[in-house]
Amino acid sequence: YLKISKLALAFAIIHSKPPGKSSKEYIEYLAKTVSKQDFGWKWKVELLEAEVLRLRQELLLNRISPRFCLENRKQGTSAETLLGRESINPTSYSSQLEDSGCDVCNDSAFDSLGTASDFHRSEHNVNTSKHWLERVPPLTLCHTSKEESLTAPVQFLQCLLEIRKLSEGGILQADFSELENDSFTICNSVSQLLDGLTVFYNSPKFPAPSFLTEGVCVLISLITDTKLSNHVLKKCFKKMEEFKKNLIQIILRNRSVNRFQALHSVSQTLGLLGRNNILRNSLISLLLSEVRQFAEQLLQAHQVQSVYDITQYENISLLCMILEQLLPNETQENNISSSDYEGEEKLKFLKNLDQIILHLSDEFPLFSLYLWRVSVLLNSGQMQ
């Protein structure tokens, strides 16, 4: 039936084609016309879906804390002020992105990668924006740009964080069990935020816009909050895993000349995500897998004297640096020895690692040093 239908459509197009046009030209014309119509419908559908999500977000916030939503409406803050407001001190975050990226030898470029001081700095930035959080603008639809499509989920999630803060202080009464009854809204909001961050990390701007900084701070605050993180991670764990994989691939595949400063911000986000107890082990497994696979490929290329990916060789060091930051955290911050991490990827990473380092140390001393340092951290519990 399908073949007969296609044949009938082909005959109809041939018989109806205008004079002076070939069948191929007429088909291409019809395809363009239909695609334009589809684009218009898709745009309308996206607007309607965004409107539905906005209404569900408002309804969920109202169910969690009706008083908060009532006071928020009384304030009447306009949503347009979000993009133009520097509420989270973006200078400290974006100053590292103003450089051309050529000077990668200064220690300050990587000293704060995933360290406790940097994490507390991000928390401090969120706290210093309390004046913004106390006057959260009403949720809006107008997704006329990528920036606004990112700020929409940020607004909703910041409302949740503010309700959480006020309820903890006894100022508001809130029922967060409602998050269990509406997993669609929280999942879609977090998915929008993760997708928006991925888009901007794929095409970074210099300096980093303030709304990107806000998005990262909201994400970190959300997954580190003791009450909200359980609801979010339980429903969005797969999406969070996909987000981490995307960030790792952005680091490995970036070939731009001025990539190092942009990749530093991606590495910083990965390091902060790895501080969450639920996300840490899976992130370590992903990083170990990528480093191990590249080490094996580099060894094979070295043995047969074939060409290897120089750009990936330069970028792989960032993954090793993240590993160096995450593995000690298991000992220093959580009183868990790194030997407790007995994942499959750890065993694969350590297998034949000494032979790999031995063969690569002469030609690739820096990468071999990275491998050795990671292996020491993995085995540090056994060495004590």
* 153 and 218 fall within a common domain: yes
pLDDT-above-90 percentage for the chain: 22
Query: Is a pLDDT exceeding 70 seen at residue 65?
Result: yes
* 287 and 244 fall within a common domain: no
pLDDT at residue 245 in the model: 94
181 domain residue, yes or no: yes
For residue 269, the tally of other CB atoms under 10 A from its CB is 21
313 domain residue, yes or no: yes
* 351 and 249 fall within a common domain: no
**CA 345 to chain CA centroid, nearest Å:** 22
The mean pLDDT value of the chain amounts to 76
d(CA 374, CA 352): 14
* 154 and 256 fall within a common domain: yes
Domain C-terminal end among 275, 304, 320: 275
d(CA 157, CA 204): 23
pLDDT at residue 47 in the model: 84
* 257 and 211 fall within a common domain: yes
R_g of the chain computed on alpha carbons = 25
One DSSP character per residue, 277-326 reads HHHHHHHHHHHHHHHHHHHHHHHHHHHHT----HHHHHHHHHHHHHHHHH
Identity of the amino acid at 177: S
* 172 and 288 fall within a common domain: no
Query: Is a pLDDT exceeding 60 seen at residue 119?
Result: no
254 domain residue, yes or no: yes
Three-state DSSP class for residue 129: coil
d(CA 78, CA 135): 10
d(CA 271, CA 324): 10
For residue range 153-183, list pLDDT tens digits in order. Answer: 899 999 989 888 888 888 888 888 888 888 8
* 220 and 290 fall within a common domain: no
Task: Report CA-CA distances (Å) from 58 to 72, 156, 209, 228.
Answer: 11, 8, 27, 17
* 266 and 290 fall within a common domain: no
Geometric angle at alpha carbon 312, from 310 and 150, rounded to 5°: 140
pLDDT at residue 120 in the model: 46
pLDDT at residue 10 in the model: 83
Q: Which residue has the tokens 């044949």?
A: 7
139 domain residue, yes or no: no
The token duo for 376 is 């020491």
pLDDT at residue 231 in the model: 80
Question: Which residue in 297, 310, 324, 287 sits closest to 115, CA to CA?
Answer: 324
77 domain residue, yes or no: no
Query: Is a pLDDT exceeding 50 seen at residue 298?
Result: yes
* 347 and 257 fall within a common domain: no
Domain residue limits at 214:
146-275
- Better-predicted residue by pLDDT, 75 or 67: 67
* 237 and 308 fall within a common domain: no
The answer to whether 343 and 284 are in contact (CB under 8 A) is: yes
* 159 and 233 fall within a common domain: yes
156 domain residue, yes or no: yes
74 domain residue, yes or no: no
How many structural domains is the chain composed of? Answer: 2
pLDDT at residue 208 in the model: 72
Asked which of 24-28, 223-227, 330-334 is least confident by mean pLDDT, the reply is: 330-334
The answer to whether 50 and 155 are in contact (CB under 8 A) is: no
Question: Which residue in 371, 380, 370 sits closest to 353, CA to CA?
Answer: 371
Continuous H helices in 183-309? 183-202, 210-224, 228-253, 260-273, 277-304
Q: What letter does residue 136 receive in the DSSP assignment?
A: P
pLDDT at residue 233 in the model: 83
Mean pLDDT of 25-31: 85
- Give kind and range of the element (H or E) at residue 42: helix 23-64
* 253 and 320 fall within a common domain: no
d(CA 365, CA 370): 9
d(CA 206, CA 264): 13
Backbone angles phi, psi at 124, to 5 degrees: -65, -40
The answer to whether 211 and 151 are in contact (CB under 8 A) is: yes
- CB under 8 Å to 44, separation ≥6 — which residues? none
Q: What is the 3-state secondary structure (H, E, C) of 43-83?
A: HHHHHHHHHHHHHHHHHHHHHHCHHHHHHHHHHCCCCCHHH
Q: Which residue has the tokens 């060789």?
A: 313
- Give kind and range of the element (H or E) at residue 108: helix 108-111
Query: Is a pLDDT exceeding 60 seen at residue 5?
Result: yes
96 domain residue, yes or no: no
pLDDT at residue 80 in the model: 36
Identity of the amino acid at 123: E
Question: Which residue in 141, 227, 178, 183 sits closest to 65, CA to CA?
Answer: 178
